[in-house]
Amino acid sequence: MSWAQEYKVLDGPGLADRALGDCVKLYKEAEPRLAQLVSDEKDEFSHDDAVTWLSAASASHRTCLDGLREKGLLFEAQQAQNLTRVIREALEVYGADGNQRRKRKGKVVRRRPGLNNLGGPLSSWDASTSKADFVVAQDGSGNYKTINDAVAALAQLGQKQAQRVVVYVKSGVYKEKVEIGGDLKNIMFVGDGIDKTIVTGNQNVQDGATTLNSATFGVSGDGFWARDMTFENTAGPQKHQAVALRVSSDLSVFYRCSFKGYQDTLLVHSLRQFYRECQIYETDGSPIQHDNGTGTGRSQREHGDFDFEFSRDALVRIPRCQGQFQELSREAVEKVLEDRVSEDGFG
């Protein structure tokens, strides 16, 4: 991280700040997971956790380098090149040691009934009967009028909230750029439905943003859940990369959501993610149904394809098409969710 903070460029400070800001953010988010791998703490992690976290660190490092190159910044830092090699070697070690999986004993989150069917508040939420911790409403009928005001209140809670925090965002078009930081864990956002609760923005690479920070809605906090919302980037087809939703959240779930944009609409950046009954719109505005798809690793979108890069460097490419996608490793992902996620949070 220090090399990014000290890095010198021969270009405009605005471009440098954005690209290097991405690097610092990504490295800060990766640092706690990597530290846990070498610590003596009693927190539990499995072999699969280790491989996933290392893969995410690799994805973050590549994203940093891509952002620097995207902005035409000079790049000669030997420390950055060394990091690529170190992470690759660590992944090789864990890959070779697959038969001797390393586990730490610690707290275990018990399974909840019905998780296979997305049980708990994710599937049972009803605005007329369910209670949210925070309510966002543009007409003033909630606790806050903007999503960012609610996020600021969440940040003030810190670790005081032991259980999952539910944020209900009432119908409306919210013209905001929202970031759920890495310290905001076990948050659930619920809306009034696709095309009813809409978060919209228009940041894009053509106008100076990096792909990563062009996202209208970015998620880094682990255990993030969302349902019945639309995430949108309206930058247009001539503006190049313009992300509607960027997800770098481990064990995150999106249920009955819509993602709309023109290029790189959904950036499944890293870690384990689960999508069910979601719609992805790109380029021409026609829907691509993405039913029960998953991504665990870095997602790169090239030539209109969806690429899901899995933790062990297995790459599955799905051609862009109308209609529904086939399920991708649903059983494996549901097993992870069952073991690690509860309606109150995850361990």
Q: From CA 5, how far away is CA 3, in angstroms rounded?
A: 5
Contact by Cβ (8 Å): 155, 179: no
> From residue 91, how far is each of 19, 44, 179 by CA, in Å?
26, 19, 29
Distances in whole angstroms, Cα of residue 45 to Cα of each of 41, 103, 124, 242, 336: 10, 6, 30, 35, 12
Which residues does residue 272 pair with via DSSP β-bridges, in sequence order? 296
- Provide the pLDDT for residue 93: 72
Sign of CA dihedral 144, 147, 152, 155: positive
Per DSSP bridges, beta strands 165-169 and 252-255 are unpaired
Q: Which pTM value belongs to this model?
A: 0.74
Question: E strand or H helix at 316, and its extent?
Answer: strand 315-318
Q: Give the H or E element holding residue 5.
A: helix 2-6
120 close to 343: Cβ distance less than 8 angstroms: yes
pLDDT value for 124: 86
Per-residue pLDDT at 330: 43
Q: What is the CATH number of domain 117-286+305-338?
A: 2.160.20.10
Rounded Cα distance, 262 and 216, in Å: 13
The reported pLDDT for the residue numbered 113 is 31
Domain ranges of the chain: 15-104, 117-286+305-338
Q: Do 311 and 81 touch, CB atoms closer than 8 A? A: no
Look at phi and psi of residue 111 and say left if phi exceeds 0, alpha if psi is from -120 to 50, else beta: beta
Contacts of 281 (CB under 8 A, 6+ apart): 258, 259, 260, 261, 265, 287, 288
Report the pLDDT value the prediction gives residue 195, as an integer from 0 to 100: 96
* Phi/psi of residue 121, nearest 5 degrees: -65, -20
Cα 257 to Cα 190, 226, 284: the distances in Å are 10, 8, 19
Structure-token pair, residue 319:
């051609």
Beta-carbon neighbour count of residue 115 at 10 Å? 18
Task: Give Cα separations from 60 to 84, 225, 243, 299 (angstroms).
Answer: 10, 22, 16, 11
Are 317 and 305 in contact, with CB atoms under 8 Å apart? yes
Secondary element (H or E) of residue 85: helix 78-96
User: For the chain (length 347 residues), average pLDDT per consecutive 10?
Assistant: 48 62 86 81 73 85 79 61 74 60 41 45 86 96 97 83 87 98 93 97 90 93 95 92 93 93 90 89 56 37 30 33 38 49 52
Distance of alpha carbon 198 from alpha carbon 228, whole angstroms? 9
What are the structure tokens assigned to 17, written together?
Answer: 């700040």
Instruction: List the Cα angle 346/270/338 in 5-degree steps.
Output: 30
